[in-house]
Every structure is written in C-alpha cells, then in structure tokens.
Amino acid sequence: MYNNKQVIVIIPARGGSKAIPKKNIRFLGDKPLVAHVITCAKKSKYVDKVIVSTDDTKIQFIAKQYGASVSFRSLELAKDDVPLDPVIFDAVTREEKKLMDEFDLVFTIQPTSPLLKTSTLDHAIEYLVSNDYDTVISAVDSRALRWGFDEDKGSFYPLYEERLNRQYLPKVFQETGAILGTKRKFVLENSRIGDKIGLIEVSREESVDIDYYEDWWVAEKILNKKRIILKTDASNIIGTGHVFRCLSLASKLTNHEIVFLLDENKPLGIDLVANQNYPIITHNGDEDIIEKILEFKPDIIINDILDTDVEYMEQLRDLDYFIINFEDIGPGTQYANLIFDALYEHEEKIDNLYSGPDYYMLRGEFYYHSFSHIQEDVNELLLTFGGTDPNNLTEKTIDAIIESGFDKSITVILGLGYSNKSGIKEKYKKNINVRILENVKNMSEYMANADLIFTSAGRTMYEVASLAVPCICMCQNEREMTHTFGCRENGFINMGLGADLEIEDIKKRFLEVLEDYSLRVELSDAMKKTDLKHGYENIMNILRITYKEFLKEKQVETDDELNFRF
C-alpha cells in the first residue's frame, strides 16, 4: 500500500509462447523466466497482491512456489489473438470478488522483462500517485535516424529533420512492455489506459524484452554480470605498466560492470584511465580506500598495485570479496583468492599462485602482428624504457649508440611519466638519426618495424617477445633483476642493473649484437617458442574454477554459481 492506495500487480503468463516455446517456465539464470518478475513484485514495499494470470498448470505451480497467487484464465482468454486488456480486467475483477474490495492501482508486469528492478517498480507506483497521471508506462530512449515507407509512392522518407549524431537527436521513447500502471477506474475489458499518461524512463538493461532467442542471450549476459573494481595506480616511481594491464583487462571484461579505483595523489594513473573513458573512483591514500570500495559494492576486487599489506587485504577478505592480485609478493598475498604473476618465478610455494609467461595479457594491438623477419643489416633501432624511466636509461643508451658510430635510424619512444622530455629533445635535436616520440598510440607497429630493441626488464619484454624482435634489456631496479623471463634462453641479452652500467658497457654489447646476424636470429627464434597470445584465456579458465569454489564456500546456490560466466 502507498498513500492508502491498494496496489495489485498482474503478471500475464501464457503457456503457449511461439518464438521461444515454453519460455515462461524455462530457466533464465537461477530461476524460471516468470519467477524473475514475481520476485521483483514481491520485494516491492508498496505492492499488496501479486497475481499470475495463466492457462498453464506448470506456470501455476512455479507462481505459487515463488509466492504469487494465480488466476487461471479461460481458454477463450488464452488464445493467440487476445490482447492483454481483457486478461488483466479478468484477473483484477476475480480477485476483487474474492476480497470483496476494490484495488486503487493496477500494474501489469510482463514476464518477458526479467531484468526489471524492484526500485523501478516502486518508483513507477510513486510516480503515478504523486503526479496527475491516469496511467504510467515504462519506456526507453530509442532516438535514432528513422525512416518511413510510403506504400503509395513505393519510396522511403526520413522521419527526422536534420542528420545529427544520436546524442544530439531529440528524445524518442519506445515502450518496453515491462510496466503499465493505471488507476483502477481505467481498467476496462478493452482498455487499461487513461487520458493523462506519464512515461517512466528505464535503463537499457531493464528494457530487455524477451521475444526471441537473441533477447534471451542478452538477458543471460546481463544477469551474469559482476561488479568489478580494478585497483591500480601509476606514478614516476611505480611506472605505468600496472594501469596499462588493467586497461587491457577492462577491454576484455565487456560483460561486466567495471570501475577503476585510483589514488587521487597519483594523477598520472587518473589521466591514463580518463583518456580511455572508463569510470573512475578516487581515494585519498589509505584513509578512505575501504569506504570507497564499500560504496561501489563489488563482487570482485582486482589489485594491481605491486605488494599488498596485511591490513588492507585482511579488511577485503573480512568483507567476503573475491580478490585477485597481480605481481604481488607482499605479505598480503595470504588473503588473496588468486595471484597471477607473469614476471616473477616465486621460490616459495603459495596457494593459488600462478606465475610465468602463460599468465601475461598482451595488449590487443600485439595480437595482430606476425613474427618479425630478421634482416642481415640493422637499419632501425627502437629505444623504449617504460612509462617513467627513473634511471634515464634512455639518454645513456642514445649516447652509447651514437658513440658506436651507428648512423642509421634511432627511434626513441618516451613514456608519459618521463621527467625531462624537453631536455632530451633539445640535446639530440641536431642529430638527424635520432627521432624522439611521445604519446605513441601504436607501439606494436614501431616494435614490429625495428631490427633491434632496447628496453627495460619489465612487462615490455613480453610485447617484444610476441613480435620476436631481438632485444637488449636493462633492469631499472632490484625488483626487475628478479624477472627471470629476461634471459638468453627466452631471446634477451640482459645487461643487468642499468644504473650500474657505463656508456662503454652498453656500446660494447650493442656492437656485439649489431655485428652478429646469427645471434639475432637465435634470439628471435628463442622468443618464438613462448606462446604469449593465450594469457587472458589461461587466467579466465582458472578464475572460473576458483570463483565457483569460492561461491560454494559462501553457500551460494548451485544454479547461480554455474550460471556465472566471464
């Protein structure tokens, strides 16, 4: 009841559906189709009675199991060509005769709208009572460049005045079929709509109306959607690789609701994610991070922030979140459900840890290139030392190459966080062989065009290996020194800690690789042995299995668990 108004919901559910036979009793997710709207209506704080009008005993049984009453309609009212008006009128008048009382508001909810939310139904009831409307109908914004057809002339004509991008067109609404609410006096045998009509705009998800198998597929995808937080950051100290991996992951998790959680004190990460138009939540260091997580109410939290501490991870675990960490060797790992680490080969045994190149996720642009063909002469060098290059290995390497006498093309790509962009450009502006770039959008093309690459010993190694381009790498810090993938066996000449190297050391090693064609072929062939194009699939396969186990431990219903899909 709302404002002393008696509210009844009628759910018309025939047994004789055509496009999808028996669709009202088919399982969508964890329950039969018709049960979704029954559950929606039963949870309403305003609905006094929920009635399912049907001609089918199986639907009758399901309706009662989910707490609805049943009005068994006549065969005459169950025919294909019978509209809903007499069906709703029949169900309402029957119930009123039983109760010897009359309802004030009659709402029709179609079972083919299983994604309808109780909050939307409650809003529709409030909207009808609080405004001077006779009827309210759910609708979705469906503006588009539409065309009509003139039967007499046999020609098409535009239904718009001006060709504009969709967001600039005037709003046009299409009924969803989910809700039609009306005051009781307008519920007649041949009509349910009064003169004054209000529209309730619903989301595109709630507007899904299941008529065909394609609609069913869409509804399943939406029902299985999870809320996922990607906690990551980028700065001059930690680099940008963590954010780029999360961006790559987000681009693949298209079936789920994704939000990035970023530290407002590290604006580099915020800029990177904002440029890709993903939703962002910011927090202020450790002060309010848990509060921000609680506000979003995630199902899954993915941490890509290097080593986690016990306090943070323990709080997440106590809140019953499913937690996935990347590249984490900190004390907080004991609380993670899964740890993926493509760079480190951990010596100690950690449960749920998966390490090595099988779990590296290539950025999408690298999937489309074939392996590089090794030329006898090196004509194109590429230097790229990560997002920040804190040790300025870029400048040291350029100097070493110039001192070697190499007079071919040297392409340098600076990361977003490189600290002295203007200075390095000024230093080499007169050298016609040196080309310094930044904000590059197609890194894979530059790598694929190179005959030899210099880079640091981080995630970029995997991108180089996916193209099989010979590579000399240098470590930015002690952590990179433990990245076991950067070795001769995998196709890399690893020179160790870059800060300890002199220009002469780099020059000497460069000339060795430059002049040895067979060595470069050997390095390229070694890279080809590592499969780097199935990391995402490998991670998702493990995630599915582990998440099912997690839900079992939390005593989640088996049907719901089995219908979860990434």
> Of 310, 315, 356, nearest to 334 (Cα)?
310
- The DSSP bridge pattern shows strands 135-141 and 173-183 to be antiparallel
409 near 428, Cβ under 8 Å? no
> Of 498, 511, 214, 527, nearest to 369 (Cα)?
527
- The 10 Å CB-count burial string (b at 16+, else e) for 121-132 is bbebbeebbeee
What number of H helices and E strands is found in the chain? Answer: 18, 24
Q: What are the distances in angstroms from CA 165 to CA 132, 145, 168, 169, 508?
A: 34, 9, 6, 7, 58
Identity of the residue numbered 34? V
Question: Within 13 Å and on the Cβ side, how many CA atoms surround 420?
Answer: 12
Q: What are the distances in angstroms from CA 442 to CA 264, 272, 382, 455?
A: 28, 15, 13, 17
Residue 520 bears catalytic tag: no
Rounded Cα–Cα distance for residues 321 and 289 (Å): 14
Residue 394, both tokens:
């870029």
- Contacts of residues 168-174 at CB distance under 8 Å and 24 or more positions apart, as own/partner, are 169/143, 169/144, 169/145, 170/143, 171/141, 171/143, 172/141, 172/142, 172/143, 172/144, 172/146, 173/139, 173/140, 173/141, 173/142, 173/199, 173/201, 174/139, 174/140, 174/142, 174/207
306 near 330, Cβ under 8 Å? yes
| Element spanning 222, H or E | helix 213-223
> Of 455, 456, 465, 450, nearest to 514 (Cα)?
450
Which residue in 163, 166, 184, 544 is the catalytic one?
163
* Sheet hosting strand 353-355, strand order edge to edge: 280-283, 257-263, 227-232, 300-304, 322-326, 338-341, 353-355
3-state secondary structure of 109: strand
Which residues have a catalytic role annotated? 163
